[in-house]
Structure 1
Amino acid sequence: MEVTTVRSFGFSITHSFPPRRKFHPTLAKKKDNESQQQQPPFSSLRISNSNLARAAIGVFGLGFIDAGYSGDWSRIGVITPQNEEFLRLAAFLVVPICVLFVFRVAKEPDY
């Protein structure tokens, strides 16, 4: 084993390099009582498909409001001012339909 000493700013730092070892993978064995008590870490993060569908519909409706009323999209050149006016008028039809769909999506049982 080789040991070197480096001095800097009045402190002594010793580096030692252990001999190289070869590591072999092994499988850990769990006790029966531990595997039954522990839950997977993501079990509380489950989201039902109906909630995901509601969120997607809501974001779609909010997109119409943003594109029609913010003015940012036409200012940076993504849409024309004529398309912005069309989206503003379409929001009066699309947003109520999205709200209807959000409340009409079938509910799934909670996890």
Structure 2
Amino acid sequence: MEVTRVRGLSGLSLTPSLPPRRRFHATLAKKKDNESQQPLRISNSTLARAAIGVFGLGFIDAGYSGDWSRIGVITPQNEEFLRLAAFLVVPICVLFIFRVPKEPDY
């Protein structure tokens, strides 16, 4: 990779594909009115359901995969405890997923 010398603050140009004195054109920060794109809107209840589901899946992963104790993140005793706790936590998470009130979708 060829590094070109440029006089300035950095001293080196780390973009070998561009000439060092190339000028860039100004761009608009706002979108034009004819380019209307709907933002991604997700209701709070959907986000809450997803977070509860990930929490429950985390107990299943930590308790049954064996990876966490193998790499030393948790002890085998903690893994056994998480495996037993998953029997309580996962049904509660499923209950909470269905009990979260629905909000109208956007």
* TM-score exceeds 0.5: yes
Q: Identify the residue that residue 64 of structure 1 maps to in structure 2.
A: 59
Kindly provide the CA deviation profile for residues 56-82 of structure 1, in whole angstroms up to 9, marking residues without a partner as x: 000000000000000000000000000
Matching of residues 72-83 of structure 1 within 5 Å? 72-83=67-78
Aligned pair count? Answer: 82
Report which of the two has the higher share of strand: 1
Question: After the TM superposition, which parts of structure 1 deviate over 2 Å for at least 4 consecutive aligned residues?
Answer: 23-26
1:41 pairs, out of 29, 37, 42, with 37
Matching of residues 1-111 of structure 1 within 5 Å? 35=33, 38=34, 40-43=36-39, 45-111=40-106
TM-score between the two structures when normalised by the length of structure 1: 0.64
User: Which one has a bigger Cα radius of gyration?
Assistant: 1
Q: For the residues of structure 1 that align with 2:61 and 2:36, how far apart are their CA atoms?
A: 39
> Where does structure 2 lack aligned partners over 5 or more consecutive residues?
1-22
Kindly provide the CA deviation profile for residues 17-66 of structure 1, in whole angstroms up to 9, marking residues without a partner as x: xxx9xx8999xxx7xxxx4xx574233x2100000000000000000000
Shift in alpha-carbon separation, 1:41–1:25, aligned structure 2, 3 A? closer
* RMSD of equivalent CA atoms: 2.9
**Letter of the structure 1 residue corresponding to residue 77 of structure 2:** Q
Q: Identify the residue that residue 4 of structure 2 maps to in structure 1.
A: none
Shift in alpha-carbon separation, 1:110–1:39, aligned structure 2, 3 A? farther
Q: For the residues of structure 2 that align with 1:103 and 1:24, how far apart are their CA atoms?
A: 51
> Where does structure 1 lack aligned partners over 5 or more consecutive residues?
1-19
Percent identity of paired positions between Structure 1 and Structure 2 = 82
Report which of the two has the higher share of helix: 1
